[in-house]
Amino acid sequence: MTMKFYMTPGSCSTAIHILLEEVEAIFEVHLVDLMAGDNKTPEYLQLNPKGTIPVLITDDNLVLTDFQPMAWWIARQNPKKALLPTGIADECRALGWMSYAVNTIHGQGFTRIFTPDRYSLPGLDNGAGHDAIKQQGEEIVANAFALLEPVLAGRELLFDRFSIADAALFYVMFWADRINQPLPESCKRYYQTLLTRPTVRQVLSEEGYGAMFR
């Protein structure tokens, strides 16, 4: 069975798309239009009751519905592509940074910036309330990048080779770039280096961001 990949261009699924290209996977793309509510249809919720993208159905019919196990599966399934650093200590560090990107930078920061309505409280669900929630999100993101700044200083990648953690940090930096949230110097240089990676260019071009490279 061919793998099926449920994704939305320019979302967190972009990083999984990059990892699938890194391992030269063969997969069928199923576009999910979040704005149109494709992720809330009964058919989609049967596939992923969480109503989120990405979803990956593997060639042996395993349904993966969360970013981190999906990235882990892709890396573990393709050991020759070495998408994890060497040694258990660095593997754990990679999981730690991936988790920080997905849970903190995305889950706490960008979710407030992109969907402040989710955090509204009675009496706060007006424009000013949403602006305050977005500002809180921007602060969470800015603090996270400030924390990463010394980690990335003088480095092209988090470890000695491209890993699932770099893919996760890439998508949150890509979002910062899209909304013009400034990245500190080392984060910016790291992000710009990732943008030169062939799989990153290919995926962004396929997802409609080719103009970034012209």
Enumerate binding residues for ligand GSH (CB under 6 A).
11-12, 34, 39, 51-53, 66-68, 102
- Closest contact distance (angstroms) between CB of 185 and ligand GSH is 27
Which of 34, 124 has the CB closer to ligand GSH?
A: 34
Minimum Å gap between C-beta 107 and ligand GSH is 6
Write down the least CB distance from residue 29 to ligand GSH, Å: 16
Least distance between ligand GSH and beta carbon 71 (Å): 9
Helix 127-152 to helix 185-195 angle (10° resolution) is 80
Q: Which is nearer to ligand GSH, 41 or 86 (CB)?
A: 41
Give the whole-angstrom CA distance, residue 110 versus residue 116.
Answer: 9
For residue 214, the minimal CB distance to ligand GSH (Å) is 26
Query: What is the distance between the terminal CA atoms of the chain, rounded to a whole angstrom?
Result: 37
Q: Are strands 3-7 and 55-57 parallel, antiparallel or unpaired?
A: antiparallel
Tokens for 40?
A: 């809330």
C-alpha 170/C-alpha 164 separation (Å) is 10
Measured from the CB atom, the residue of 68 and 77 that comes closer to ligand GSH is: 68
| 114 CB neighbour count, 10 Å cutoff | 15
CA proximity to 101, closest of 149, 125, 135, 68: 68
Q: Which CB atom, from 67 or from 97, has the smaller least distance to ligand GSH? A: 67
Cβ distance to ligand GSH smaller for residue 52 or 199: 52
> How many C-beta atoms surround the C-beta of residue 105 within 10 A?
26
